[in-house]
Amino acid sequence: MHYDHISFHLDNYPQDLAPQQAAHHIGYYYAWAVSQNLHSEAASRLPTFHLLKNGYISGTTFVLSELGGGIDETCFNELGNRFTQYYYEDEDEGYGHFINDYFQALDLDSESGFYRTADAPEIQQKLNIVFQAAFEKWRNSLQ
């Protein structure tokens, strides 16, 4: 089961954008997860994993080149899967707290703006803070 995949976003996708921009949000989340060691052992064996882990490529590049454009349960360890299930849980679209945090952190007000977000280190840094806060809040709720 995919938590998120580029193909989920292409139906109402802005025609003037390259399809890979639909993976930016997935890449930001996965790069943060890797930075917190929430990735699976299998993911760590992929050819360019060390480049992602050391910040030489973006999460988007990794998701597109190594994960087939999406993230699923094979991408995460047990804790990573538990948090991702919680963070993406939503009765409607399936993006839950993740999408709300993403829109709020980047001050987005439309789906078109969501897809126009650049793949940039500054945005990754901003989102890392938001994802980390959500993770810590969730983890503390388990105790």
Range of the domain at 77: 2-9+19-141
Residue 108 lies in a domain: yes
pLDDT single digits (tens) 48-99: 999 999 999 999 999 999 999 999 999 999 999 999 999 988 756 657 899 9
Buried b / exposed e over 83-102, threshold 16 CB at 10 Å, is: bbebbbeeeeeebbebbebb
Helices 121-141 and 96-105 pack at an angle, to 10 degrees, of 140
pLDDT single digits (tens) 35-54: 999 999 999 999 999 999 99
Residue 71 lies in a domain: yes
Residue 101 lies in a domain: yes
Residue 25 lies in a domain: yes
Residue 116 lies in a domain: yes
Total structural domains in the chain? 1
**122 or 109: which carries more pLDDT confidence?**
122
Distance CA 41, CA 44 (A): 5
pTM for this predicted structure = 0.94
The 3-state DSSP class for residue 24 equals helix
**Per-residue three-class SS string for 68-131:** CCEEEHHHECHHHHHHHHHHHCCCCCCCHHHHHHHHHHCCCCCHHHHHCCCCCHHHHHHHHHHH
Residue 128 lies in a domain: yes
Q: Evaluate whether 59 touches 27 at the Cβ level (below 8 Å).
A: yes
Residue 14 lies in a domain: no
Q: What is the number of H-type helices and E-type strands within the chain?
A: 8, 2
Segment (H or E) for 2: strand 2-5
pLDDT single digits (tens) 11-43: 888 999 998 999 999 999 999 999 999 999 999
Q: What is the mean pLDDT of residues 130-140?
A: 97
